Structure 1
C-alpha cells in the first residue's frame, strides 16, 4: 500500500500538523504542514537529535542564533542536535510541507 505526502491536508490548520511517517531505533521521519505558522515569540527548538529537513512545497524562514535562512521547494538543511532554531515565517497563502528526518 502506498501513501502520498500531499494527501490528507486539512483546509484549515489552527496549529502545525505533525505526522510521523516512520519510526525506528535512532530515526523518525515526519511530514510537517505549516500554513502561515511560526514559532511563538521567544521560543527556540533545542533538540536532542539531529534534524535533516526539506521543504517540498511553500516557503519558510528559519532563524538561528546567528543567522536567518530562507527556504523554498527543494531546499534542505541539516540541523545538528542542540542547535537552537525557530520557524520565523511560513507562507500564509498555501501550505508549507516539510519532510523532517530526526536521527542520532
Structure 2
C-alpha cells in the first residue's frame, strides 16, 4: 500500500513528477510543487485529456483562451485534449500535491 501524501520531499528545487500508474489507456501522476509554475517558454498542448485534483496546497491553471482557475485542497478540474494551458502559480509557502490523470 502507498500513500500519495507520504514521502514528500523536504526541499523542492524543481517540481517532482512521479508515476503512480501507467497502462496503454491511462497514466496517473503525483506532482509536488512549492512556488513552481509551468516553464515560461510555452503552453501544455496534450494529445490526452487530463483530470487534475489538488490533494494539498493550492495552485492556479491558466488557459490560453481564458480563464485562470484557482484550485484549493479537494478541488478538481477536467482539461480536454489540446486545451492549451499552464500552471501559473502554486503556493510558495506550502507544498502543493496534485493528482493528475491522463486518458484518451
Alignment TM class, shorter chain as reference = over 0.9
1:30-71 residue CA offsets vs partner (Å, 9 max, x unmatched) = 100011101122421001100000001000011002211011
Q: Which residue is equivalent to 2:82?
A: 82
Structure 2 gaps, min length 5: none
SS in 1 for 2:97: strand
Is 1:103 the equivalent of 2:77?
no
Normalising to structure 1: TM-score of the pair? 0.95
Structure 1 gaps, min length 5: none
Q: Which residue is equivalent to 2:49?
A: 50
Alpha-carbon distance between aligned partners in 1 of 2:103 and 2:78, rounded to the nearest angstrom: 11
Alpha-carbon distance between aligned partners in 1 of 2:62 and 2:3, rounded to the nearest angstrom: 29
RMSD value, Cα:
0.8
Residue-pair matches, total: 103
SS in 2 for 1:3: coil
Structure 1 residue runs of 4+, over 3 Å off?
none
Q: Which residue is equivalent to 1:61?
A: 60
SS in 2 for 1:32: strand
